[in-house]
Structure 1
Amino acid sequence: MTDGSTAGSRPFQPYAGFGGQVRTTMAESEPWWPPAPAQAPAGSPNVVVILADDLGFSDIGCFGSEIATPHLDATADAGLQYTNFRVTPLCSPTRAALMTGLNAHAAGIGFPTHIDPGFPGYHSELPLSQPTMPEVFRSNGYATLMVGKWHLCKEDDFHEAGHRHNWPLQRGFDQYYGFLEALTDFHHPHRLYEGNSVVHVDEYPDDYYLTDDLTDRALRMIREVRAADRDKPFFLYFSHGAVHAPMHAKAEDIARQRGRYDEGWDVVRERRLAKQIEHGVMPPDAELPPRNQEDGHEVGAWSELNPTEQRVHARHMEVYAAMVDAIDRSVGRVRALLAEMGELENTVILFCSDNGAARLTDQPRPRPSWASSNDTGTATYFGYMQTPGVVPQVDEQLPERLDALGGPTTWPHYPRGWAMACNTPFRLYKFSALRGGQQSPLIVSWPQGLERGGTSIRRQYAHVTDVLPTLVDLLGLELPAERNGMPASDLHGVSFAPTVPDPEAPSSHLEQYTECVGNRGFYRDGWEAATHRRPGVPFAADRWELFDASDVTQRRDLADEHPEKLAELQEAFDQAARANQVYPLDEGSKVKFLQHPPRRPPEPVRILAGTPTLERHQCGFLIQGLSWRVTVDWSYRPGDEGVVLAHGGQGGGYQLHVEDGALWLEQNQYGAPHRFGPVAMTEPSSALELRMEVDGGRWTATVLVDGEQRLRVPGLLRFLSYLPFEGIDVGVCRRSPVSWDIYERRRSFPFTGVLRSATYYPDPATWDQVDARLAEARAVALGMQ
């Protein structure tokens, strides 16, 4: 050393901004800079994982569909089709298993992330000790990108002040654009996020469509990474909102499907199976099960429907097919960009669905006057789910408004007969432990890296937990042993890479439990046992069915012929359930929705004019009691106009607005507008108040201007639980409008006068009322043990 410093060290000038801990020497062995991040080996492939939502097994062309999906078919032609690939029967649990390689309950997400009843398997959060798929790729030198539906964090954390520890960026993604929860409006998404921030949108373009927007953003992310670093591989997780409700599509896409479904679901089912057998997706001896006839899931013959029903139901499926078409075009755009960059051949593309096609609730419902069957579908998803004893007005009027179906004024879901057809050739639907609930198409393509042997069809049993270990195996990735200093759990999935070159290689995944809202199942080496239960029935009354490997469509129940095998699988389910945090089972009492960590009493919330939309889950707490009110601080002058207060959108909501010197109260009753007034506003005003009181299960609304009652409206629909699905706006109605009439004429209709704030005063006894309902639910649950 020539500078007189101590041997083995060198002078070090600390940067003052490091704060507090000042060091004057640095050992020779210490790096001058932080260690470099991992770098992927040269030539590492890109990875694109595409997840569809509620897509049936037979909904794409190469798996039997009549829907044209040329881009997915081309992906399959260049790769492999797995015809015995299983997921969980629900969206969030499948996503948890995909992201972690753990069974869903073991990952804390045995149900969609809208609950936290205190049971480990239903905590609604990924384990903080478990690396996720993007974290695995990032640690191996990949850029990590995501667009679309996350649905892996608690709804209590959706808002701007919520904890972000389970948001996409905190779980390993470098970039994220999409929505955090189960569903959204495809024409007017209620709440999009970019990275860790909410995207603030007042009005969407008239031609906006969510699938296209997500695709645009995915392509932008890819271009950004490649422009910045020509060698760095990327991992893209494209998590579609389609084809989950609401079934929305662009008018031109729906028009291309016109007439395709006039022959009905029975004919579609038969044609799809014939195509599956022709292309080797199903074995030659596969037979269609009878139409679903399980209690609460019955599907009638298409020929027994009246002409109006057939016309309406055919249009429902045209909308659905248009959504599938949009997914395929999205895949085509991603593939086209990869080809343009010269990287398509060295990109792994994996495509699957998160569960089987979905049916509407199985609770008894009245039917519209035009229908002869109870299996009618709906044009108002929320209205159908929230008003069990009432036919929503929009459904009653649907035959006259059929051209609006799938557009921004409707929130549709097709009849379960179409879900049955979409799951061809399997029984039942999403939520079921039978194959219709958990069977997914799986396409795996890597033209440069997969040396497939023989046919492209793979019949080996594989599970969604296998995806992560398979990618690790195929790409030679290192799997982190810990996260945040905590040891990670061993993966429950196993690699199916040995089946890639060998169609005869045995499956490595020999057994697997399934549980969904009390439905139970267990697979072991070709044998499969499953229950189909009705909520509210003691578990001891559930019947288990048993099927062997030769019965791919689960037509023949062998439980009576092989009682010892059934008992073996029942015991195996119990052992797996205990090992994976599955218990307690959901008996149907609603306890899991009502039981929650302690909450403070609801307090008044003041929303300043100009505040971005208050998040919808937080807004729900403000209006859930038996009475609530909202006061508006304004300085109204004659001539002022615009939306004063808006809560909700076309799926349901209410608003106050002033137009042409009159104040109006409008309630959107799940797509049906109801306007009350006018209240003449010819004098200045300094205070406005809206009061709501529950009377016989309905709201009675009272409007006061400067303390004087000016309007009283009984019999309004009472919104419950997660509704309205849009949050609260003060001085404007953003995105999906409560009033379509106002939107068409005035768009978001900002208020032109002086409006300072709106203050909500919730019922302070809200949680007492919830606790009372919880006590009732617990009593019901105990009675079913």
Structure 2
Amino acid sequence: MTAPPFARGYEGFGGRASEFVSDAEPWWRPGAPTPPGAPNIVVMLVDDLGFSDLGPFGSEIDTPHIDALAAGGWVFTNYRTAPMCSPARASLLTGLNPHRAGFGFVAHTDPGYPGFAGELPAGAPTLAESLRAAGYATFMVGKWHLTVESRLHDGAEKSSWPLQRGFDRYFGSMDGFTSLHHPHRLVRDNSVVDVPEFPDGYFLTDQLTDEALSMIDQLRASDRERPFLLYYAHTSVHGPIQAKEADISRFRGRYEAGWNAVREERFARQRELGIVPENAELPTGAIADDDRIPSWDRLSDEDRALFARHMEVYAAAVSEVDESVGRLLAHLELLGERENTIVVLTSDNGGTAEGGPRGTRSYFAQFAQIAGLSEDWVRDVPREIAAIGGPQVFSQYPAGWARVSNTPFRSFKSSTYEGGVHAPLVMSWPAAPQRLRGLRDQFVFVSDLTPTLLDLAGVPALTERCGLAAEEFDGASIAGVLGDPDAPGRDLQHFECLGSRALVEGEWKAVAPEPPDREEGAAGGRWELYHLAEDPTEASDRAAELPERTRRLAERWRSEAWRNTVFPLDDDGTMHRTRPETELALAEPVSLPPYGPPLERYRSAQLTVLKSFEMEIDVLVGEGAEGVLVAHGDQGGGYLAALDGGVPLLSYNAYGAMHRDRAAAALPSGEQRLRLAVEELDGLRCRVLLEHDGRAVAEIAEVPMLMGMAPFTGISVGYDYGSPVDWDLRERRGPFRFGGGVLRGVRVVPGARSAYDPSIIRAVGRAAAVLAD
């Protein structure tokens, strides 16, 4: 391996680079400690951040630390990623294209195809694994989202968890998102963190940064020389979008002019900064999703105030990411290690429009996307505007602000238009000569990052893993681009998400926004064509004018797709409803002891979601017995049973709308059994009962069923973990740990699956056994 173009002979690593990097004889030796002077590497990935949301890319949001990072490093204006988060993360860590890395979709389902396995291939070493083999310490904090959700529970086989994929230390949330004020589940290394109660003012971004700094300090306490990798995967700014009130207040009034005005302001700044070429046009009309975005001028004053608050919260969350960057860089300066630390900061995909035209204060209600859902399904339960961003509201900003985030591009996350895949990228390495830094407009893809970082560190990628020959990189090092603004970038890249397809070849891009009909073939359907050199924002479709070029690029996409395990396409919308029969064991009845960490989210959902079920609660009632008996969910939706002053209480949170009922009298002393029953009704509704001795003592007659991602926080017994189901009860009693008696436990017994459940169960276990025989 040759040295990076700007490293040869450069004095700035604590010694001359030529002392340990040589074209003839690389310094690295398999199994040997990494010598002093190798760079630290920090990769910071922000969730759902749009191309224009940072100061160096035209934003009005204050990001001084990222601005400084960009001013002393490289700003990439033509960086692209995958259209969704898990595929981007898999590609970043392995150097493979997303489907070859096992992630054609987010890490929820495994429909049985290699390109959609929901886990990294056994033969694909991660950046962390290659660096650790070369002597690096490897740390990760934040969002993982690279383990299929049925293997996130405490009894799961953990070969796809962070520590088993190359990280020495891990702290964060394994799921795709969580509440920043009350995380639904935190994992340290391979174990769930037992958090009886989050302190007032707790905020996850702050703790992630604290944990990252602590990992570095613990390393330095024992080893002053060993280089480290820190992969900091932010949970911001993914929904639910939340921030600290002090930060929100700094943006109060900033967005009263509306999304069109802010978008135009950002576009003007981008031109001034050279982030977009002079010939770029800001798309308008139908191609700019005007049909999905209300006109700001026609909104009521009340709606303008509501929508502006959503963006104030989003801006505050972005500024909190910047604050975490500042804290980390300041700490490296204090340690004397900033000079020789490579920092990469980027986003996993474009900004998301999942909040819909009006945004939502009921984030989990947006995931109820099944046949039979009534037209009056409430997707935004009204709450006080001032509560948005705080711990009581799980919100997502409206599509109009997502379009601002993606300025100047069209469309959003999960789309293969530029708005879904064009993202900010900043790199910094103070040890590199100043004259080499600045803007870069070469095409770079997310799979290029791992080869680049290994190249800069002088570390070869592992050649095998688990006895398998390592998969060859799809990405390539861009060290040459860092050293030469005229060096060539990537020429070709395919994209696919939910049947939407695209291919960039040189100056041209072909896009098929919908999947083809089966009889049309993989390259069929409606294709559009854009000349990116003249039309970087995809404003002018040239397909009718150049049909032969369009057909050729469509066929080139098909060829790339076959090579990259992209097939089959989800052409009928059923692929990701498929679940293996091996998951059925997660829906077996379970007995839960009191006071432990909550049962994991997906395991809890298999017992309770889209089905009737009951919970048997055995308790010895003593003098003054009171507290939560069982709770499932949070402020985004859930239910609980408690003894409040000894009186049975039933609470049901329907995506933010509260329903309660209380018994007429306290329970008698002695051994008692209660039954919490949720009975499915027609139209995806349910009745909730709390029974004692076979008699209903509290009842909520008819409420919407919780589904999709709700309840999100798992089942807790003897207290209400984290974000409370019933905020008023939490205000009065805190987590309300049960006392004054003995809570024996809770047995959860699921009923039959609802007819509305779209899941398709496949007998893959039996099929595998037959093949084995």
Superposition TM-score, scaled by structure 1 size = 0.89
Q: Take 1:616 and 1:538, find their aligned partners in 2: how far apart are those partners?
A: 40
Which of 524, 528, 531 is 1:544 aligned to?
528
Q: What's the CA shift string for 1:212-240, capped at 9, x where partnerless?
A: 11001111111111221111111100100
2:55–2:62 contact (8 Å) kept in structure 1? yes
Match of 1:617 in 2: 602
Match of 1:13 in 2: none
1:652–1:723 contact (8 Å) kept in structure 2? yes
Secondary structure of the residue aligned to 1:640 is strand
Match of 2:402 in 1: 419
Match of 1:384 in 2: 366
2:47–2:235 contact (8 Å) kept in structure 1? yes
* Structure 1 residue 594 displacement after superposition: 3.1
Match of 1:142 in 2: 136
* Structure 1 residue 726 displacement after superposition: 0.6
Q: What's the CA shift string for 1:651-679, capped at 9, x where partnerless?
A: 11000011123211100111222111234
1:259-270 → structure 2 map (5 Å cutoff)? 259-270=253-264
Match of 2:543 in 1: 559
In structure 2, give the amino acid aligned to 1:643: V
Match of 1:23 in 2: none
Match of 2:686 in 1: 699
Q: Does 1:728 align with 2:711?
A: no
How many residues of Structure 1 are paired with residues of Structure 2 in the alignment? 725
Q: Take 1:339 and 1:715, find their aligned partners in 2: how far apart are those partners?
A: 59
1:221-232 → structure 2 map (5 Å cutoff)? 221-232=215-226
Match of 1:16 in 2: none
Match of 2:646 in 1: 661
Which of 724, 741, 750 is 2:737 aligned to?
750
Q: What's the CA shift string for 1:166-215, capped at 9, x where partnerless?
A: 11111001111101110000000010011111111121111111111100
* Structure 1 residue 294 displacement after superposition: 6.6
Q: Take 1:178 and 1:535, find their aligned partners in 2: how far apart are those partners?
A: 39
Match of 1:781 in 2: none
Which of 749, 753, 759 is 1:761 aligned to?
749
2:515–2:525 contact (8 Å) kept in structure 1? no
Which of 412, 435, 450 is 1:468 aligned to?
450
1:67–1:325 contact (8 Å) kept in structure 2? yes
* Structure 1 residue 768 displacement after superposition: 12
Q: Take 2:621 and 2:95, find their aligned partners in 1: how far apart are those partners?
A: 58
In structure 2, give the amino acid aligned to 1:582: V
Q: Take 1:541 and 1:420, find their aligned partners in 2: how far apart are those partners?
A: 26
Secondary structure of the residue aligned to 1:427 is coil
Q: Does 1:282 align with 2:276?
A: yes
* Structure 1 residue 130 displacement after superposition: 1.2
Q: Take 1:771 and 1:414, find their aligned partners in 2: how far apart are those partners?
A: 29
2:599–2:715 contact (8 Å) kept in structure 1? yes
Change (3 A) 1:769 1:309: closer
Change (3 A) 1:78 1:597: farther
Change (3 A) 1:347 1:607: same
Q: Take 1:291 and 1:148, find their aligned partners in 2: how far apart are those partners?
A: 38
In structure 2, give the amino acid aligned to 1:762: P
1:102–1:493 contact (8 Å) kept in structure 2? yes
Change (3 A) 1:772 1:526: closer
1:239-254 → structure 2 map (5 Å cutoff)? 239-254=233-248
Change (3 A) 1:625 1:308: closer
Which stretch of the first structure deviates more once superposed, 375-384 or 184-193?
Answer: 375-384
Match of 2:20 in 1: none
Secondary structure of the residue aligned to 1:163 is coil
Q: Gaps spanning 5+ residues in structure 1: where?
A: 1-34, 363-374, 776-785
Match of 1:402 in 2: 385
Based on CA coordinates, which of the two structures has the bigger radius of gyration? 1
* Structure 1 residue 424 displacement after superposition: 0.4
1:450–1:501 contact (8 Å) kept in structure 2? no
In structure 1, give the amino acid aligned to 2:745: S
In structure 1, give the amino acid aligned to 2:600: E
Q: What's the CA shift string for 1:281-326, capped at 9, x where partnerless?
A: 1112222111554779622332222211111111100000000000
Which of 445, 451, 458 is 2:440 aligned to?
458
Q: Does 1:571 align with 2:560?
A: no
In structure 2, give the amino acid aligned to 1:694: E
Q: Take 2:109 and 2:650, find their aligned partners in 1: how far apart are those partners?
A: 33
Q: What's the CA shift string for 1:526-580, capped at 9, x where partnerless?
A: 2111122289999755343333322111111111121111111100110111111
Match of 1:581 in 2: 565
* Structure 1 residue 36 displacement after superposition: 9.3
Q: What's the CA shift string for 1:386-416, capped at 9, x where partnerless?
A: 2864667793534xx1110000000010000
In structure 2, give the amino acid aligned to 1:608: P
Change (3 A) 1:771 1:359: closer
Match of 2:478 in 1: 496
Match of 2:43 in 1: 49
Q: Does 1:686 align with 2:667?
A: no
Which stretch of the first structure deviates more once superposed, 254-263 or 669-678?
Answer: 669-678
Which of 497, 507, 511 is 2:492 aligned to?
511
* Structure 1 residue 330 displacement after superposition: 0.3
Change (3 A) 1:357 1:179: same
Which stretch of the first structure deviates more once superposed, 736-745 or 618-627?
Answer: 618-627
Q: Does 1:434 align with 2:420?
A: no
Match of 1:716 in 2: 703
Q: What's the CA shift string for 1:229-252, capped at 9, x where partnerless?
A: 111111100100000000000000
* Structure 1 residue 55 displacement after superposition: 0.2
Secondary structure of the residue aligned to 2:730 is helix
Superposition TM-score, scaled by structure 2 size = 0.90
Secondary structure of the residue aligned to 1:440 is coil
Change (3 A) 1:701 1:536: farther
Secondary structure of the residue aligned to 1:71 is helix
Q: Does 1:647 align with 2:647?
A: no
In structure 2, give the amino acid aligned to 1:524: E
In structure 2, give the amino acid aligned to 1:548: L
Q: Take 1:542 and 1:561, find their aligned partners in 2: how far apart are those partners?
A: 14
Change (3 A) 1:296 1:657: farther
Secondary structure of the residue aligned to 1:762 is strand
Q: Does 1:525 align with 2:510?
A: no
Q: Does 1:194 align with 2:170?
A: no
Q: What's the CA shift string for 1:603-652, capped at 9, x where partnerless?
A: 22111223321111101111135421111111224631110111111111
1:79–1:452 contact (8 Å) kept in structure 2? no
Which of 572, 581, 590 is 2:574 aligned to?
590
Change (3 A) 1:50 1:291: farther
Change (3 A) 1:249 1:291: farther
* Structure 1 residue 600 displacement after superposition: 4.0
Q: Gaps spanning 5+ residues in structure 2: where?
A: 1-28, 764-773
Secondary structure of the residue aligned to 2:419 is helix
Q: Take 1:577 and 1:394, find their aligned partners in 2: how far apart are those partners?
A: 37
Identical positions, percent: 42
Q: Take 1:713 and 1:669, find their aligned partners in 2: how far apart are those partners?
A: 11
1:512–1:522 contact (8 Å) kept in structure 2? yes
* Structure 1 residue 703 displacement after superposition: 2.1
In structure 2, give the amino acid aligned to 1:344: R
Q: What's the CA shift string for 1:584-615, capped at 9, x where partnerless?
A: 11225233223424444632211122332111
Q: Does 1:349 align with 2:352?
A: no
Match of 2:7 in 1: none
Match of 1:120 in 2: 114
In structure 2, give the amino acid aligned to 1:267: A
In structure 2, give the amino acid aligned to 1:130: A
Q: Take 1:251 and 1:390, find their aligned partners in 2: how far apart are those partners?
A: 35
Q: What's the CA shift string for 1:449-485, capped at 9, x where partnerless?
A: 35543x7110000100000111122222111110112
Match of 2:768 in 1: none
Match of 1:238 in 2: 232
Match of 2:725 in 1: 738
Q: Does 1:605 align with 2:590?
A: yes
* Structure 1 residue 713 displacement after superposition: 3.0
